[in-house]
Structure formats: C-alpha cells, structure tokens
Amino acid sequence: MQLKAYQRALLALVVLIMATPAFPAGVVVQDQDEYREAVKNAKPGDVVRLANGTWTDFEILFRGEGTEDAPITLTVEEKGKVILSGKSNLRLAGKHLVVSGLVFRDGYTPTSEVIAFRRNKDDLAHHSRVTEVVIDSYNNPERTETDIWVALFGRHNRFDHNHLAGKKNRGVTLAVHLKTEASRENHHRIDHNYFGHRPNLGSNGGETLRIGTSHYSLTDSFTTVENNFFERCNGEVEIISNKAGRNVFRGNVFLESRGTLTLRHGNDNLVENNVFFGNRVDHTGGIRLINKRQTIRNNYLQGLTGHRFASALTVMNGVPDSPINRYHQVEDSVIENNTVIDSRHIELAAGSDDERSAVPITTVFRDNLIYNEDGADIFAVHDDISGIRFEGNVLNAVESPAVSQGFASRKIELEKQPTGLYRPVDDTLAEVGASAELKVLDRDDTGVDWYPKPDYGPGFGTGAVTAVSAEEGALENAVAAAGAGDVLELEPGAYTVTKLLAVDAPLTLRAADADDRPRIEFERTALFEILNGGGLQLQGLRFTGKSAPDNPGNAMIRTSRYSMLDPYQLLVENCEVFDLNVNHSFNFLEVAKGTFAERIDIRNSLFNDISGAVIELDKETDDLGLYNAEYISITDSEFRDIGEALAVVYRGGTDESTFGPHFELQDVTLDNVGNNKRNKSGASVVMHGVQLTEIRDNEFKQSKPLRVIHTVGDPVTRIRENRFVATPEPSVKGGGALLENNTVQP
Ligand code: CA
C-alpha cells in the first residue's frame, strides 16, 4: 500500500508520540557515545533520556550548567525499565541539574561512590537534585571493602524520593561531606527517601546516614533531613551519625532499626517530630545526645529495647577539654515534650568513666511523658546529673523513681489516636509529651511507587516440603534442586553423601519420623557449605564423620571460603553428631574470615567424639571490631569427648560501634572438653570481647576451664548455677562479671 505524504507524516507523528510516553520529550540515547554527545550539547531546559534496557559498566558523568527556571535533566525512557548494572556509577557536576529514574542493581561501583555530587574534588554540583533513583543491593562482594552509595558535596542540593535498600558492605549509605569550604553551610535537603534493610555489619562503618566528620564538626552544615523512612537500618549503633552543626532532623520514621539517631559531634542541631517504633526488637534505640545547644523535642518513641548507647534517650558524659574526635560535654541543651512508651532504658551521664568525666550541664529535661504499663523505672543515672534541670515530666506509676525531682508519678490511662500514636486520656496532661498534631509518615509516601519496597525474603520452612529417601544420590539431588525456604524431609535410613552439599538459600533438613532418625555420613572434607544467601536448619538427624577423608581439618559444616555479604543462620535441633575424629582438628562448624552469622543455635542435641572444636568463631583477628557471629545460643545439649573448645568467640578491637556478640550457654553438659594438646586456647569455652554472656545451669566435667576476656564496652557477663567437676574454676579478665552460686568440686 502506498501512503500519501500527509499520511506518512501523520504516522510518523503517532510513532513519535507513542515512543515518548512522558513529557518533556527530550532526546532518547541508545548507547554511551550518544549519551556523551547529548550531554555535551545540552542547553538549559534540555532533557536526556536513557533508552530502556540494561546499561552495563556505565560510569555516567553528568556535567552541565542549567538555570533555576530551566534545569538540565537526565532521566530514562520509562521509569523502572532502565537498569545500571555491572560497574556503573553516576557523578554530577555543575548547577541546576536534575537526575531521575535510574535503578542501580546487579553490580557495584568501581569507585568510592555510586552517586557523587561532584566530578572531582574541585568540580562540584550545586542547586541540583537527584530524585526517584533506586539503589538496590548494589554491593561490593567483599564485605570489608568500603564504599558510599550517595555522597553529597556542594551546596543547595536536594536528594528526595529515592529508594536505598540492602547495603551490605562497609561504608555509609548516604554521606554529606563538608571537606571543603564549597560544601559547608550547604542547605541540602534530604527528604522522602526510603532507607530499607541494612543488615548488621558486625563492625563500625555501617551508618545509614552521616553528616560531616569529626574533623569539620564545628562547621555548620544547615542540612535538613526530613520525612524519611528508615526500616530495619541495623548496620551499627549509629543509624544516623550527625557530625556537624545546625542540622534539622524532622518528621522521620525509624521502624525496627537498631541503634540511634546520634548527635555525635557538632552543635545547635534540632531533632523534632520524629517517630521511633522498635516493636521490642533487640537493640532498637532512639536519640543519643552529645555537645552543645542541641534541641530534642516532640519526638515519639515506642517499643525500644536498646540499652547503653542505644537507649530510647541517652545523654552522654563528655571528656574534659575533649579532642575533636572524642566526646564534647553536653551543655545548654533541651529535651522537651517527648513521649517514651513501652521502652526499657533512658540513660543519663552515660559512658561515665575515667576519661568521660565531664557531666552534662545547663541542660533542661522537661514536659516529657514516660510510660511503662508495669510502672518500671527506665532511668539509669551513671554520674552527677545536677547539671540537668528536670521539670514537668510525668511517669506512669513508678514507685520510687531514680530521678524524683521534676517528675510526677501517677497512674496514666493512654488512648490510641487516629494517627496510631498513644496519648493520655486526661486533658490535664495535654501539654506533656508529644503533641496531638504529631503524625506518622506513611512508608508509601517515601521512595518511588514504581519499584517495590523489599520484603525480607523467605525464612526457614516457608517453601515446599519434599520427601527424600536414602537412595544413592537422592539427598545430593534434592539439595541441588531446593529453592529458598524449602524443607527436605528425610525418610529413615542410612545416607552416604558423596558430594559437598552447597546451600545458597535458607534450607531445612529434617527427619520424616522423629523416632527413627536418619543417619548421614559423608565422604568429602565437609558435608555442608553455606554460601552467600544460604542458611541451614537441621532437625532430628544423626551425623557421623567416620567416612570423611583421613585429613586434618575437616568440618561437618563450613561457610564459603570467601567473604559473604549476607548474614546467615545455622539452627541445629534434636540432632546427634558423632565421630568427627578420623584425623585431628575436625570441627563441627568452620567459618572463614569475612563471614557473619546472624544466629547460631544448638538445642537439644548430643555431640560425641569430636577431635576439633564444635564452633570456632575467631577468624576476625585484625582487631578492628569485626566478629563472626551476632547471637550464639547453646542449650539443653551434651558434649562428650571434644578435643578442642566447645565454643570460641573472638571480637577484637576497642571500637564501640557494635552490639554483639551475644553468647548463651544453658542446661548443657560438657564432659572431657578441650583436653586435646592441639587446643591452643587451653579452655573449653572462650569469650573474648563478647558483649553479653549468659552461662547458667551447666555442668563442666573433666574439662578445660571457661575463659572470659572483657575488652571493650560495658560487657555483661553472668555465670550462675554452674557445676565444675574436676574442672578449674572460670577465669574472667577485665572485671565486672557476675559469678553466682557456682560450685567447684574435685
Ligand atoms: Ca559509627
């Protein structure tokens, strides 16, 4: 069919309109050369669009000079359909630039930043905006390698409605830099962003947001952090680390995030109208106060369990004539009209020690409402607090409060408001606590609406259940075919596993018949290898190492030998493990440096004849505050004839940025544990730098001693109701442990 000229023109117009679904139209570039050409020629008001598809190894430099009324825009053909992967990143420099619609995933930045508001240290971006950009798990695979996802430089920039989730390697998620004059007094706005899950890093350097550094902390920043949503931002004790002056933190929500908004350095900051929901998750905290002329008002904090530096409210002691990087005294600060509900700790003069001896002064704590249903007093006072004036505060039914002056204690009735927040029914308390106008930011009003916010992946037992027989190769095939959360139900019988079972997703192996335990032996140097993303739950099984090769250093379970970004879990229940002894140093669990367990649980299990150690978590020996596991729990179990230690947990360094490790040993029998000459620790249980140790109702027989070494923080160690038979008594270095009702017998 021949088209007439006007028909061809009309068709061309229709095609053009269809190809550019959003306005302003702008030029769609198809490759990196076209992009560079388009940006080079861009004039104020121009729009450059990246074509739909995946752009690999694209280091975007977006340099231009727009105007206030006519910025230059870099965006995408269609939002959600343009992916930057591999070794990609973005630098913007110039002024009046706008970037939107990019998605960074499936790779990591080759430089120190994914998005930098500068080309180099002299060429910065000003009056520019990055909005509706996604960075999703764009992580260097080496967890201790440092990079920053977003680095703000320059002045008057805005970072808003972005989605940043799944940062797992070391380095701040978003940092505001004040290194040079051109980035100070910057008046940046950081608003309506969604900060999703950041798992525990197990070391310092896991902050979600940092403004400044100690070095420039007496410089004013004038940055506003407003209406952002922080969900499970668990990297370290500082969710936000403020290290500059005159910043505002307003209207943000912190949901189940471990740690606190910390006013670490710098003066004259304002923290108001924020909402913290801990939902009683461990180590969830609120606000930590240090320095001068800080204001903390009209915040709502509920269900926070954190203590010490992660309490609902923490007022620190300072260091007299503090160096710039230590702790300046709290002075001239105000804490008023905050509501604290169902939370465990408020700490005053926290961190008091020989160095931190400058107590808070000329500070006011007034009109705060503190409610715990059971009348628990949540205040802890660590030093002289006569420099804090308390007035008009109200407590719920606390009998003899630690701080009594300036507090009224009475029975309060609370009522849930349409906003979801609780307030007293009694009108006479209308001026106490957070105001009735305080609202909770909706998660859906943050980030972007075209990219899903994360759910937290399948846990154990959430997938399909598959029956497995003892037939040759059946278990190996079933493990290889298993999906995340799947359960393999093993029929009774004797299994011989001839291959290493690699586990790259949460996987459960359990007995089909709890009264007839399957028996599993293995012919390789390990039975299971937990890879990144993997996790293992074992229930009702018997394992023997008697067919393992005659080599030293076998292990029943080992982690990947390389760095793993995802914390893993290992849960062992109702299992028997025996004859890991064909040669010396045969461990139950062998981990590698650069791996991190969120949880290791052994329950109701029996371990017999093991030449090595049961769990040895001591591979982070650089003494940088790194460690190999957060929660270790061993309960209701027996360990007989174990050559090396039952458990070694090592957390070195003096940094105070982590919560763990946590160790629990309860209702356990140790019989002849640690007596092999290769046991260099000379102990049956070694806890070095562990923050919380609970050891009770155990029996140690003919075993090497329990050894605890306190190194950093305020570790809590309780050793109670244990029996030591033909076993030396526990040794505790560093003091402060509670030893109670233990018996030592010959
Ligand atoms: Ca930190």
Structure confidence by residue, pLDDT tens digits, 464-517: 999 999 999 999 999 999 999 999 999 999 999 999 999 999 999 999 998 999
CA of 257 to the centre of ligand 1 (A): 15
Distance 526 CA to ligand 1 centre (A): 37
User: Is residue 71 helix, strand or coil?
Assistant: coil
Which residue did the predictor score with more confidence, 262 or 654? 262
Cα separation, 604 vs 194, whole angstroms: 42
Instruction: Say how many Å lie between the CA of residue 220 and the centre of ligand 1.
Output: 20
Residue with tokens 């993997």: 534
The answer to whether the beta carbons of residues 719 and 740 sit under 8 Å apart is yes
| C-alpha 203 to ligand 1 mean position (Å) | 8
Distance 187 CA to ligand 1 centre (A): 24
Residue 15 has pLDDT above 50, yes or no: no
Report the pLDDT value the prediction gives residue 641, as an integer from 0 to 100: 98
Weakest mean pLDDT among 111-115, 143-147, 314-318, 536-540:
143-147
CA–centroid distance, 317 to ligand 1, in Å, is: 18
- Ligand 1 centroid–CA 237 distance in Å is 7
Give distance in angstroms: CA of 478 to centre of ligand 1: 43
Measured in Å, residue 630 CA sits from the centre of ligand 1 at: 17
Ligand 1: distance of its center to the CA of 405 in Å?
Answer: 35
Q: Ligand 1 centroid to 264 CA: how many Å?
A: 9
Residue 250 CA to ligand 1 centre (angstroms): 21
The candidate with the shortest Cα–Cα distance to 392, out of 373, 412, 407, is: 407
pLDDT in tens, 264-286: 999 999 999 999 999 999 999 99
β pairing state of 422-424 and 414-416: antiparallel
Determine the 3-state secondary structure of 427 from DSSP.
Answer: helix
DSSP assignment of 668-735 equals EEEEEES-STT-TT-SSEEEES-SEEEEES-EEES-PPEEEE--SS--EEEEES-EEESSPPPEEESS
Could you tell me which residues are beta bridge partners of residue 241?
A: 210, 262
Q: State pLDDT tens for residues 409-437.
A: 999 999 999 899 999 999 999 999 999 99
Alpha carbons within 13 angstroms on the beta-carbon side of residue 226 total 10
- What does R_g of the chain's alpha carbons equal in angstroms? 29
Ligand 1 centre to CA of 209 (Å) is 10
- Per-residue pLDDT tens digits for 617-659: 999 988 888 899 999 999 999 999 999 999 999 999 887 777 8
Work out the average pLDDT over 328-347: 98
Specify the pLDDT at position 712: 84
What is the per-residue pLDDT for 488? 98
pLDDT at residue number 26: 82
Q: How far is the CA of 633 from the centre of ligand 1 (A)?
A: 27
**Is residue 134 helix, strand or coil?**
strand
For ligand 1, the distance from its centroid to the CA atom of residue 708, given in whole angstroms, is: 26
Residue 514 DSSP code:
T
**Mean pLDDT calculated for residue range 554-566:** 94
| Spatial separation of the C-alpha atoms in residues 575 and 538, rounded to whole Å | 7
Q: How far is the CA of 619 from the centre of ligand 1 (A)?
A: 22
**C-alpha 691 – ligand 1 centre gap (Å):** 17
Ligand 1 center from residue 3 Cα (angstroms):
68
Q: In this model, does residue 237 exceed pLDDT 80?
A: yes
Contacts of 688 (CB under 8 A, 6+ apart): 618, 648, 649, 650, 651, 652, 709, 711
**442 CA from centroid of ligand 1 (Å):** 28
- Name residues whose C-beta falls within 8 Å of residue 452's C-beta, 6 or more positions apart in sequence: none
By residue count, the chain amounts to 746
- For residue 172, how far is its CA from the centre of ligand 1 (angstroms)? 9
Q: How far apart are CA 391 and CA 388, in angstroms?
A: 10
Q: Residues 513, 490: contact at Cβ < 8 Å?
A: no
Could you tell me the distance, in angstroms and rounded to a whole number, from the CA of residue 235 to the centre of ligand 1? Answer: 9
Say if residue 301's pLDDT is above 50: yes
**Which DSSP letter does residue 138 get?**
-
Mean pLDDT of 48-72: 98
Whole-angstrom Cα distance, residue 213 to residue 266? Answer: 9
Only one residue has tokens 């609970």, namely: 694
The Cα 707–Cα 646 span in angstroms is 12
Please answer whether residues 271 and 287 qualify as being in contact, where contact means their C-beta atoms are separated by less than 8 angstroms.
yes
For residues 168 and 143, what is the distance between their CA atoms, to the nearest angstrom? 7
Q: Would the pLDDT of 13 be above 60?
A: no
Contact 154, 197 (CB under 8 A): no
232 Cα: distance to centroid of ligand 1 (angstroms):
16
Q: What integer is the mean pLDDT of 30-36?
A: 97
- 24 C-alpha to ligand 1 centroid (Å): 43
Cα(707) to centroid(ligand 1), Å:
29
**Ligand 1 centroid to residue 593 C-alpha, Å:** 21
Is residue 550 exposed (0-12), middle (13-18) or buried (19+ Cβ within 10 Å)?
exposed
Q: What is the pLDDT of residues 123-154, one digit of tens each?
A: 999 999 999 999 999 999 998 999 999 999 99
Q: How far is the CA of 206 from the centre of ligand 1 (A)?
A: 7
- 674 CA distance to ligand 1 centroid (A)? 37
CA 210 – ligand 1 centroid, Å: 9
How far apart (Å, rounded) are the C-alpha atoms in residues 629 and 683?
20
d(CA 387, CA 716): 29
Average predicted confidence (pLDDT) for the chain: 94
Measured from the Cβ of residue 460, the count of other Cβ atoms closer than 10 Å reads: 18
Q: How far is the CA of 421 from the centre of ligand 1 (A)?
A: 30
- 658 CA distance to ligand 1 middle (Å): 9
| pLDDT value at 11 more than 80 | no
Neighbour tally for 367: CB within 10 Å: 21
When mean pLDDT is compared across 14-23, 32-41, 557-566, 588-597, the lowest value belongs to 14-23
CA separation for the pair 647, 150 (Å, rounded): 40
Q: Tell me, in angstroms, the distance from the centre of ligand 1 to residue 191's CA.
A: 22
Ligand 1 centre distance from Cα of residue 111 (Å) = 22
Give 262 Cα–ligand 1 centroid separation in angstroms: 9
Distance 380 CA to ligand 1 centre (A): 23
CA of 163 to the centre of ligand 1 (A): 22
Distance 171 CA to ligand 1 centre (A): 10
Cβ contact 557:522 at 8 Å: no
Q: What is the pTM of this model?
A: 0.82
456 — pLDDT class (breaks 50, 70, 90): low
- Give, in order, the Cα–Cα distances in Å from 62 to each of 67, 116, 399, 533: 15, 10, 63, 35
- Cα(408) to ligand 1 centroid in Å equals 36
716 CA distance to ligand 1 middle (Å): 21
Report the separation in Å between the CA atom of 266 and the middle of ligand 1, taken as the mean of its atom positions. 15
- Amino acid letter at 726? A
pLDDT value at position 454? 78
Q: Is residue 293 within 8 Å of residue 270, measured between CB atoms? A: no
User: How far is ligand 1, taken at its centre, from the CA of residue 659, in Å?
Assistant: 12
Residue 10: band (very low, low, confident or very high) from pLDDT cuts 50, 70, 90? low
